[in-house]
Amino acid sequence: MPAMGTMVFANPTGPPPAAETKEPEMDVSEAIRTRRSTREFTAQTISRAVVTQILDEARWAPSWANAQDWHVFAVTGERLGAYKTMMADMIDAGADPDPDVRFPQRGDWPEYIQERMTYRRPSPGAPAAPPQRPGLARLYGAQWMLLFAVDEGLVTEYACFDTGLLVQSVCLAAHSRDLGTCIMAMPVRHAAALHELVPEAAGRRFVIAVALGHPDTDSPLNRVERERAQLADIATFLE
Ligand SMILES: Cc1cc2nc3c(=O)[nH]c(=O)nc-3n(C[C@H](O)[C@H](O)[C@H](O)COP(=O)(O)O)c2cc1C
């Protein structure tokens, strides 16, 4: 039994194939604190049954008026290989990004927000580095790419808000099974080419991708120190 005030992830569709992943039993607080971006995956595969369980759990995420205004394309195998080729070609050609949902220009953001952008900092005090291009083209070796898309007819801001809730739920459901995820904007930056690869997404805008696989726990990329702003810097109590 979980302790009072904690919750255990439900497993509504039965256990995964033996020994493929551990039973999800992490408490929510631990899951939120220990989830981290995985930027190197092992070659170990994840079955469609396990991905199904993760998505089946995550679909209980909240959304505006319960609209559930999202769609996930779970990509692996040949189609994932085609994505990797496409992305490598785009990078080599120096193609301009054409995302369906506008990317923020970091340099335009307020200075105090820019100061928080520390990801992939190899050691305390070292300068932050952008994601490496080879890592991007191979999706850090992930076994699955989950592509999140929203209907073109929706108000994009709200649909993206809802999709973000679904995305974090996916990441936590995966993490509770000791699987790794990396939320990634980069895979959707060449939207026209991605739509050619995924014609099933016609009429939808690609919002974000999540790389999913078994984390390579030996990789330094997965041991990068994580930082957060102090609570006082992001929250104000009005009493
Ligand atoms: C909307 C969004 C887009 C992101 N895009 C990328 C990306 O393209 N490549 C990448 O390596 N990480 C990406 N990340 C991961 C963030 O860099 C990461 O969540 C952040 O640095 C905090 O680190 P943590 O997830 O390990 O706690 C993205 C995260 C979000 C929420």
pLDDT in tens, 126-143: 545 544 556 788 999 999
* CB atoms inside a 10 Å sphere around CB 124: 8
What are the sequence ranges of the domains in the chain? 41-94+133-224
The 10 Å CB-count burial string (b at 16+, else e) for 159-177 is bbebbbebbbbbbbbbbbb
pLDDT at 5: 36
The two three-digit tokens of residue 5, written as one number: 């005030």
> Domain 41-94+133-224: which topology?
NADH Oxidase (3.40.109)
184, 188, 210, 223: residue to mutate for ligand 1 pocket, most atoms within 8 A of CB: 184
The string of pLDDT tens digits covering residues 79-133 is 999 999 999 999 889 999 999 999 988 888 898 988 888 654 445 555 455 445 5
pLDDT at 7: 41
Distance 18 CA to ligand 1 centre (A): 31
pLDDT at 133: 56
pLDDT at 132: 52
DSSP state, residue 178: T
Q: Which atom, in ligand 1's list, is nearest to the CA of 120?
A: 21
Question: Tokens 């205004």 appear where?
Answer: 69
Distance, CA of 229 to CA of 223 (rounded, Å): 19
**DSSP per-residue codes, 112-142:** HHHTT--TT-SSTTSPP-PPPHHHHHTGGG-
Distance, CA of 212 to CA of 32 (rounded, Å): 17
Q: pLDDT averaged over consecutive 10-residue blocks of the chain (239 residues)?
A: 39 52 84 96 98 98 97 98 95 94 88 77 50 75 98 96 98 97 96 98 98 96 90 97
Distance 131 CA to ligand 1 centre (A): 9
pLDDT at 26: 86
Distance 153 CA to ligand 1 centre (A): 27
What's the start-to-end Cα distance of the chain, in Å? 36
Distance, CA of 13 to CA of 64 (rounded, Å): 26
Say if CB 99 and CB 189 are below 8 A apart.
yes
Distance 54 CA to ligand 1 centre (A): 20
Is the CB of residue 184 below 6 angstroms from any atom belonging to ligand 1? yes
pLDDT at 238: 98
The two three-digit tokens of residue 29, written as one number: 């607080």
Q: Which atom, in ligand 1's list, is nearest to the CA of 140?
A: 11
Distance 186 CA to ligand 1 centre (A): 10
Compute φ and ψ for 89, nearest 5 degrees: -60, -45
pLDDT at 120: 47
Is the CB of residue 189 below 6 angstroms from any atom belonging to ligand 1? no
**For the chain, how many helices (H) and strands (E)?**
8, 4
Q: Is 120 left (phi over 0), alpha (psi -120 to 50) or beta?
A: left
pLDDT at 124: 52
